[in-house]
Structure 1
């Protein structure tokens, strides 16, 4: 049990590192965020199965993570339509 928890914590740490390293492209950042959410869901499911027998909180967490993914992809599609790519360097923040 502790070995699987350790593996999920390593997944979380590698997701954080990849999010810090992939800051030029929005698509890579979104993939890193989804990887972090997946590892948090696995950790949360282990904790819920040990402590609580009800799993409604896992369903709510999964719902919110899907909503986060949809919002991120819609922002990505909007940015690609307006700028033509997903490079963060192509965005001029002074125009906002």
Structure 2
């Protein structure tokens, strides 16, 4: 049976994925939606793995979430400096 945290984690994941699909105009919106999806996976995994005693894996996963956010923000800053905007359609790598 699904608990309340599983249902809320699944709904957060679905809202995040829907936000990535529908709001792909700005790079920052996509990053925030990906962070929401990663935190919802952490919420679901924390309840499952905490009962099994795998707290070290949860800490490792949380560190990976933070590193993913830092890399995304650094790419956003680098892209904003080079293209002067954060629109995703402006980051065309085929044009020199």
TM-score over 0.5 for the pair: yes
Q: CA RMSD in A?
A: 1.4
Give per-residue Cα distances to partners, 1:31-57, cap 9 Å, x unaligned.
00000011111101010123x123000
- Structure 1 residues without counterparts, runs of 5 or longer: none
Q: How does 1:23-62 map to 2 (within 5 A)?
A: 23-50=24-51, 52-62=52-62
Give per-residue Cα distances to partners, 1:2-30, cap 9 Å, x unaligned.
12211111111111100111111100000
Q: How does 1:1-80 map to 2 (within 5 A)?
A: 2-50=3-51, 52-80=52-80
- Structure 2 residues without counterparts, runs of 5 or longer: none
Paired residue total: 95
TM-score for both structures, normalised by structure 2: 0.91
> What secondary structure sits across from 2:28 in the alignment?
helix
